Amino acid sequence: MINSTALKRRNGRAFSRPNNRRQVKRLVSLTAWWALWVSLTVVGLLLAHWQWQRAAEKTQLIAQQAATEKLHNPQAAPANLAKVTLSGHFLGEQTLWLDNRVLEGQVGVAVLTPFVADSGHWWLVQRGFMPTVVDRSVEPEVSTPQGPQEISGVWQHLQSGNLVLGDNREGNRLQSVALSPWQALTQPHFQGVLHQNAGEGKLASWWKPSQMPPERHIGYAVQWLLLALLALVMGVVGHRVLYQDKPHNRREERA
């Protein structure tokens, strides 16, 4: 004779095990779901905060540059993007060309000429853009002012280790600004280049600081903030659609 109580117990265990597995799977899936969307929300908020900080830093830097007076023949390395005025003379015979520059659709070179200041230092001066012909075998020609000069420009500190594919120097052309071609000069120097914007020998200006303006950082911050908000909304909406208990699910569990 079959024991009805034992049968009920076996049947109870048979029905309870699938329900337990379903609940475990649901819990794991729910945890993974929220881990994904909460992580995306946190990342978006962190990136938005970082862009806000960068905007504040750039605003402060611009204010400092505007308040900075021009340095005349400084004896120490200027701050990056400082305004510098030099008196001295060019070393025209030491001129080289910064290759593959573009200004208003015209391909050319930037003229790099050392300048010996009255302070005793030599400075690398980027004098501006000069268009060139297609035939690279034709050497560019530029006139260099002779005698005492006074020039002004914006100082750019050079980072070491710029990535250049192949040799940086090909004849009198450079692929990237570097001071090594003028290492034979005996005067002391600073690690950077002066982008001339006034004085004799100045050519067409093409260089602009590559720093991103504060407004663009603020725009990126708003974008990251909106993406973080979108991730949070997606998490809430998706949870309601995918994981909210349905009436027929509750009926099945009661059965």
* pTM over the 0.75 mark: no
Rounded Cα distance between 41 and 224, Å, is 9
Contact 95/209 with Cβ under 8 angstroms?
no
Which of 162, 143, 158, 147 shows the shortest CA–CA distance to 115? 147
Q: How many CA atoms does the CB half-sphere of 84 hold within 13 Å? A: 28
Structure token pair of residue 49: 């905060």
Alpha carbons 80 and 211: distance in angstroms, whole number: 11
Calpha distance 121→73 (Å, rounded): 8
One pLDDT digit (tens) per residue for the chain, 255 residues: 455 554 455 555 544 556 687 777 778 888 888 888 899 999 999 999 999 998 998 888 777 666 667 899 999 999 888 899 999 999 999 999 999 999 998 999 999 999 999 999 999 999 999 999 888 888 899 999 999 999 999 999 887 655 555 578 888 999 999 999 999 999 999 999 999 999 999 999 999 876 678 899 999 999 999 999 999 998 888 878 776 755 545 554 455
Residue ranges per structural domain of the chain: 30-70+211-255, 82-134+145-198
1, 93, 159, 240, 251 from 243: Cα distances, Å:
45, 77, 53, 6, 16
Dihedral sign from CA coordinates of 248, 249, 250, 252: positive
Q: Which residues of 114-143 are buried (b: 16+ CB within 10 A; e: fewer)?
A: bbbbebebbbbbbbbbbebeeeeeeebeee
- Cβ distance 129 to 101 under 8 Å? yes
CA-derived radius of gyration, the chain: 34
Residue 7 pLDDT: 47
Beta strands in the chain (DSSP E): 71-72, 83-90, 96-103, 106-117, 122-131, 149-157, 169-170, 173-174, 192-198
Q: Are 148 and 88 in contact (CB under 8 A)?
A: yes
Which H/E stretch holds residue 11?
helix 4-67
pLDDT at residue 204, rounded to an integer: 94
